[in-house]
Chains A and B, each alone.
Chain A
Amino acid sequence: MIKIKDLEKIYRTEEVETIALNKLSMEVKDGEFVAVMGPSGCGKSTLLNILGLLDDPDAGSFIFNGIEVAKFNERKRADLRKHNIGFVFQSFNLIDELTVFENVELPLIYTGVKSSERKKRVDEVLDKVQIMHRRNHYPQQLSGGQQQRVAVARAVVNKPKLILADEPTGNLDSHNGNEVMEMLTDLNEQGTTIVMVTHSEHDARYSHRIIRMLDGQTVLENIMV
């Protein structure tokens, strides 16, 4: 599914130049569940953003589903992204002004799904993440765990092939964290590929493989048994 080679990303501000990714290469197969770990600032989020086609690399190759996408423009990336990739963030990133239902519905609107079909599919996933009873509430009326469940629902409602999760349990207590991890595991078992950034060795154990990063490079890979 994902094959990157010698990927580079450099941030330039007025004073400094930060090499966020330094000739990084890696591969993720269809149906895999990969955890990315490493100290703060080593480039994990940068990597995930590029994998998610939110950002473009400065150099290197990125093959997604057999297509070279490193040089894709914004519009093409957006098209590919909205049909294939779901995101879960540490800070949930729900829209405060929209209800739970409307938040989850959003990706379907942008991919042009009809209204009746949208309703059916949103209700389906809300049911799956057990938040159906809160469908008309606003994000701020929910607990952190509930908000992250909504975020997961939003990430999967479009049935993406790949889910990218950036520290999905970072803002949750262990109980709620475990719940989210179970949900991701379930999705993976149903065939969704998952790449997850985490600081927690505990969470990493849910994955098949851990990629360890340091200063924009992969330093080690552990295969889980």
Chain B
Amino acid sequence: MIRNYFKTAWRNLWKNKLYSGINIFGLAVGLAACLLIGVYISHELSYDKFNRNAYRIVRVTMEYEKAGTVNAVATTGTKVGPQFKRTFPPVEEYVRTYIRQNIIKHDEKIFDEPRILYADAPFFKVFSFHLAEGDPATALDASDKIVITRSMAKKYFGNEDALGKTLTMGGKDFRISAICEDVPQNSQLKFDFVTPFLNLGNNVKDETWWTANWITYLLLRDHNSISQLQQQVNDYMKSTAVRKDAGVEGNNYLSYHLEPLTRVHLYSSLPGFEPNGSIRNIYIFSLIALLILIIACANYTNLATAQSAGRTAEIGMRKVMGASKKQVFIQFISESLIITLFAGALAIIISITLTPYFNNITGTQFSVSAFLKPLPIAALIIFSILTSFFAGFYPALLLSGTEVIGVLKKGFSFTGGKNLLRKTLIIAQFSISAILIIFTIIILQQMNFMKTKDLGYNKDHIVVLPIGGKMLSDFQALKDAFSQVRGVESVTASYETPEYVQWGDGISVTDEKGKHDISLNAMPVDLDFIKTLQMKLIAGRDFQQSDFAMMDTSNDYQNYHQPYLINETLAKKIGWTPEQAIGQAIEKGATGPVVGVIKDFNFSSLHDPVGPLLIFLNRDYSRDFMLRINGNDVPQTLSRLEMVWKQRITDRPFHYHFLDEDYNKLYQAEQRSSSLLSVAAMLAIILACLGLFGLAAFTTVQRTKEIGIRKVLGAHAGSITLLVSKNFLALVVIAIAIAIPLAWVIGNKWLQDFAYRINISWWVFLAAGAAALLIAFLTVSFHSIKAAMANPVKSLRTE
């Protein structure tokens, strides 16, 4: 029986190669989208869960109010870990962590390593990073110990056993105490080396609430105690003694939140050492995969019901021979099952082929084997079966319900007005496609806007050279050397590059009404900052050499004055016009005069409006040189810089990046969403058109006789083409009309997240609608033109 079903099913598929091809391809693409996105989602959902203690670990984040502003950060001071362990019995262990870059050397091998983790000794007890060699209990118990991952062992020692060998980091020798397996992709802590936390230097030896640069994790005795512990922490931080210890006064407060480790990656709004994922993206990605699959399913349903007209005779005959309704139903479901299983197999091939592109779009590093595991395959099979039911259910129901009488009644027509389902499905497909197209255009426009927006400085042709090691002590000599390189126009340095300033600070200004506190962002810079970055001064001047005279460190800073530049927003906030501001005093530790007011520039992501900013002259904080080079022959200039670097700096490899690239990285998440959406929009419209192509082929065949008659009566090719196309095009027009308001709402909602954004212009809708309509028209007219050109004698010769 089953064999018979499959045999007929197979023959039918073979007979209708075009429709079967469209269905298999469409469903395969839909299933591949689900598979790829499914693997991605399960990766995101699995974050940090490999830790045996995952549900007992919390990340401590800090929230505080100062000068009227509330701040929340994922980092905490050094005191939080030890103090909480001493105070709260539910806390079993704490680990403070920090990840930074450093130069690592072994014999001839010297590399700038970006992922060096500093962590307290219980690190390997709290987290489950498996040590291939070495003892987790003692791996970090002495300051000269370092743990390296397997790939690092390979990188520095080749096939030798690295355990017990020595590495030089920042000029000091370290003993390799353990070899750790490489860190899994789904870990929020990603490192290549681990060394004790206290190696960070003298500034971490003291326990303080402030200077919050470190991420603290707590291991609890019981995972149920989180909310109870949170309550205890809240009460504790409100107590007078602790407030006094932390120096919190008046309305200000300091508090800590406990985030379960497994929720950090997807649910926390505070990024740690790597940017977080977002549960919203998970939803959007799932929705996109599902929409594409729905479009593919709709194609199946449509083509199957369309073909059913031709199969009433077969079904009638089967029923005459004694087949029950159920048996006919099963037969048609088997057909859709065969199709989807084919599609499923094809989906695996597609997924594997597209893995590199997918990795590129999502920023993941899946290997082909990620899809060939039992779990995704099993999921795919189950999904295929569900899909086959979903897509095949209605056609099967419709066909199994055919009355025997239907066999005798010829002219069973499917072109009449009752194909509500089919029309609805076509409208849905094209609405989805149009929404995706419009939304994609909007995102791309916003991306382009952000890339080309006048930021208030010129980010192009700025080379950033990170400062480290002994470079600070040679500052002036290095600056001079870089300045003299041909192609370099101007050199400055600063603590942070201007595209993303995070340094938070507070100042006081005194006027007739008294002293005001203002919290703001601040950046210490070197001379030539304004000039190098081509910012605009509205009043006053840039810092100059003679300003250093003000900064008199003698007499224990008695006569120390700090010159300041402020931005327009800060001047406005204080209540000064730019001209008034010049010469006014600002107090931030040291008091000093405002020497200039600069036009606002975007020093944070375009999601946020420009806030008040204070720029102060202090080159000792410098972490990056910034060099403006001219655009002629950039590679030459870079290689000259490398030569100068190698002559003067021996303990660090030459390492540079461009400011505009750093800027673009700020919008990586948006970049990814936009790439993914572009692909999805393209797939959606291709699949929808494939379905339309099949349907058009089908209706044209159905209407062969009518077309023949019309031609006999004098219709010309144009009017026939229009006749066949217009019904489909009407549906597409309705779909576009539905899509436009929805896309407008979605687009605006998305844009709301940006303080600086485009206005959605009407031509976007017009262009997207016209494009969808044109593509649909070309698809349909392929068949209608063919039909219109056909010889009518042949069409009518079917008696």
Partner-binding segment picked from B566-574, B745-753, B788-796:
B788-796
Q: Is the CB of B710 within 8 A of A106?
A: yes
Proximity string of chain B (711-755) to chain A, C-beta cutoff 8 Å, 1 when within and 0 when not:
111111001000000000000000000000000000000000000
Q: Is the CB of B716 within 8 A of A75?
A: yes
With A55-B791, A90-B799 as contacts: A96 and B713 at CB distance below 8 Å: no
A-B contact pairs, 24 of them (CB 8 A): A45-B797, A49-B793, A52-B712, A54-B712, A54-B791, A78-B711, A78-B714, A82-B714, A87-B713, A91-B799, A93-B705, A93-B709, A95-B710, A96-B411, A96-B413, A97-B415, A97-B416, A106-B713, A107-B713, A107-B714, A110-B714, A110-B715, A110-B716, A140-B411
- B413 to chain A: which residues have CB within 8 Å? 96-97
- Tell me the complex Cα distance, A159–B799, Å: 28
Q: Is the CB of A95 within 8 A of B706?
A: yes
Extra A-B contacts (9), CB below 8 Å, given A93-B705, A95-B706, A95-B709: A54-B791, A54-B793, A55-B791, A81-B714, A90-B799, A97-B415, A97-B706, A107-B713, A110-B714
Enumerate the 10 nearest inter-chain pairs by beta-carbon distance, A residue then B residue, closest first: A82-B714, A110-B714, A107-B713, A55-B793, A54-B793, A95-B706, A49-B793, A93-B709, A106-B713, A110-B715
- A95 to chain B: which residues have CB within 8 Å? 706, 709-710
Proximity string of chain A (98-117) to chain B, C-beta cutoff 8 Å, 1 when within and 0 when not:
00000000110011000000
Q: Is the CB of A89 within 8 A of B796?
A: yes
Chain A residues numbered 59-95 whose CB sits less than 8 Å from any CB in chain B: 75, 78, 81-82, 87, 89-91, 93-95
- A94 to chain B: which residues have CB within 8 Å? 709
- Tell me the complex Cα distance, A55–B416, Å: 31
**Interchain nearest-CB distance for B39 vs A (Å):** 49
**Interchain nearest-CB distance for A165 vs B (Å):** 13
What number of A residues sit within 8 Å (CB to CB) of B? Answer: 24
Chain B residues numbered 439-465 whose CB sits less than 8 Å from any CB in chain A: none
**Interchain nearest-CB distance for B233 vs A (Å):** 76
Chain A residues numbered 141-182 whose CB sits less than 8 Å from any CB in chain B: 154
- A89 to chain B: which residues have CB within 8 Å? 796
**SS of A interface (majority):** mixed
**Interchain nearest-CB distance for B320 vs A (Å):** 24
Proximity string of chain B (59-78) to chain A, C-beta cutoff 8 Å, 1 when within and 0 when not:
00000000000000000000
- A78 to chain B: which residues have CB within 8 Å? 711, 714, 716
What number of B residues sit within 8 Å (CB to CB) of A? Answer: 22
- Tell me the complex Cα distance, A140–B796, Å: 18
- Tell me the complex Cα distance, A111–B411, Å: 29
**Interchain nearest-CB distance for B728 vs A (Å):** 16
Interface residues, chain B, with chain A CB atoms under 8 Å away: 411, 413, 415-416, 705-706, 708-716, 719, 791-793, 796-797, 799
- A45 to chain B: which residues have CB within 8 Å? 797
**Interchain nearest-CB distance for A136 vs B (Å):** 16
Interface residues, chain A, with chain B CB atoms under 8 Å away: 45, 49, 52, 54-55, 75, 78, 81-82, 87, 89-91, 93-97, 106-107, 110-111, 140, 154
Q: Is the CB of A93 within 8 A of B796?
A: yes
**Interchain nearest-CB distance for B768 vs A (Å):** 33
**Interchain nearest-CB distance for A14 vs B (Å):** 16
- Tell me the complex Cα distance, A191–B416, Å: 40
- Tell me the complex Cα distance, A97–B715, Å: 17
Which of B411, B706, B713, B792 is the one whose CB lies under 8 Å from A82? B713
Listed residue (B411, B709, B716) with the most chain A CB atoms within 10 angstroms of its CB? B709
- Tell me the complex Cα distance, A81–B711, Å: 10
**Interchain nearest-CB distance for B236 vs A (Å):** 81
- B706 to chain A: which residues have CB within 8 Å? 95-97
- A106 to chain B: which residues have CB within 8 Å? 710, 713
- Tell me the complex Cα distance, A102–B791, Å: 23
By beta carbon, the residue of chain A nearest B710 is: A106
- Tell me the complex Cα distance, A214–B791, Å: 26
- A107 to chain B: which residues have CB within 8 Å? 713-714
**Interchain nearest-CB distance for B568 vs A (Å):** 70
- A82 to chain B: which residues have CB within 8 Å? 713-714
- Tell me the complex Cα distance, A89–B709, Å: 10
Listed residue (A54, A81, A87, A90) with the most chain B CB atoms within 10 angstroms of its CB? A54
**Interchain nearest-CB distance for A26 vs B (Å):** 20
- A111 to chain B: which residues have CB within 8 Å? 714
With A93-B705, A97-B706 as contacts: A110 and B713 at CB distance below 8 Å: yes
**Interchain nearest-CB distance for B698 vs A (Å):** 16
Q: Is the CB of B799 within 8 A of A87?
A: no
With A55-B791, A93-B796, A95-B706 as contacts: A87 and B411 at CB distance below 8 Å: no
- Tell me the complex Cα distance, A91–B705, Å: 11
- Tell me the complex Cα distance, A82–B716, Å: 11
- Tell me the complex Cα distance, A55–B714, Å: 14
- Tell me the complex Cα distance, A90–B416, Å: 25
- A140 to chain B: which residues have CB within 8 Å? 411
**Interchain nearest-CB distance for A167 vs B (Å):** 10
- A54 to chain B: which residues have CB within 8 Å? 712, 791-793
By beta carbon, the residue of chain B nearest A167 is: B799
By beta carbon, the residue of chain B nearest A95 is: B706
By beta carbon, the residue of chain B nearest A139 is: B411
- Tell me the complex Cα distance, A160–B500, Å: 84
- B715 to chain A: which residues have CB within 8 Å? 110
**Interchain nearest-CB distance for B708 vs A (Å):** 8
Listed residue (A45, A110, A140) with the most chain B CB atoms within 10 angstroms of its CB? A110
**Interchain nearest-CB distance for B652 vs A (Å):** 78
By beta carbon, the residue of chain A nearest B707 is: A95
- Tell me the complex Cα distance, A93–B411, Å: 12
Q: Is the CB of A87 within 8 A of B712?
A: yes
- Tell me the complex Cα distance, A82–B415, Å: 27
- Tell me the complex Cα distance, A106–B710, Å: 8
By beta carbon, the residue of chain A nearest B715 is: A110
By beta carbon, the residue of chain B nearest A55 is: B793
- Tell me the complex Cα distance, A95–B706, Å: 6
By beta carbon, the residue of chain B nearest A166 is: B796
**Interchain nearest-CB distance for A143 vs B (Å):** 15
By beta carbon, the residue of chain A nearest B713 is: A107
- B791 to chain A: which residues have CB within 8 Å? 54-55
- A49 to chain B: which residues have CB within 8 Å? 793
By beta carbon, the residue of chain B nearest A106 is: B713
- B708 to chain A: which residues have CB within 8 Å? 93
- Tell me the complex Cα distance, A87–B709, Å: 10
- Tell me the complex Cα distance, A75–B717, Å: 9
By beta carbon, the residue of chain A nearest B417 is: A97
- Tell me the complex Cα distance, A199–B206, Å: 115
By beta carbon, the residue of chain A nearest B409 is: A140
**Interchain nearest-CB distance for A113 vs B (Å):** 11
- Tell me the complex Cα distance, A49–B793, Å: 7
- B711 to chain A: which residues have CB within 8 Å? 78
- Tell me the complex Cα distance, A94–B797, Å: 14
- Tell me the complex Cα distance, A111–B719, Å: 12
**Interchain nearest-CB distance for A139 vs B (Å):** 9
**Interchain nearest-CB distance for A199 vs B (Å):** 14
- Tell me the complex Cα distance, A152–B5, Å: 48
**Interchain nearest-CB distance for B727 vs A (Å):** 11
- Tell me the complex Cα distance, A107–B712, Å: 9
- B712 to chain A: which residues have CB within 8 Å? 52, 54, 81, 87, 93
- A90 to chain B: which residues have CB within 8 Å? 799
**Interchain nearest-CB distance for A125 vs B (Å):** 14
**Interchain nearest-CB distance for A172 vs B (Å):** 15
- Tell me the complex Cα distance, A52–B791, Å: 13
**Interchain nearest-CB distance for A170 vs B (Å):** 9
Listed residue (B708, B714, B796) with the most chain A CB atoms within 10 angstroms of its CB? B714
By beta carbon, the residue of chain B nearest A107 is: B713
- Tell me the complex Cα distance, A75–B711, Å: 11
- Tell me the complex Cα distance, A75–B710, Å: 14
**Interchain nearest-CB distance for A11 vs B (Å):** 10
By beta carbon, the residue of chain B nearest A91 is: B799
- Tell me the complex Cα distance, A75–B714, Å: 10
**Interchain nearest-CB distance for A78 vs B (Å):** 6
- Tell me the complex Cα distance, A4–B94, Å: 106
By beta carbon, the residue of chain B nearest A87 is: B712
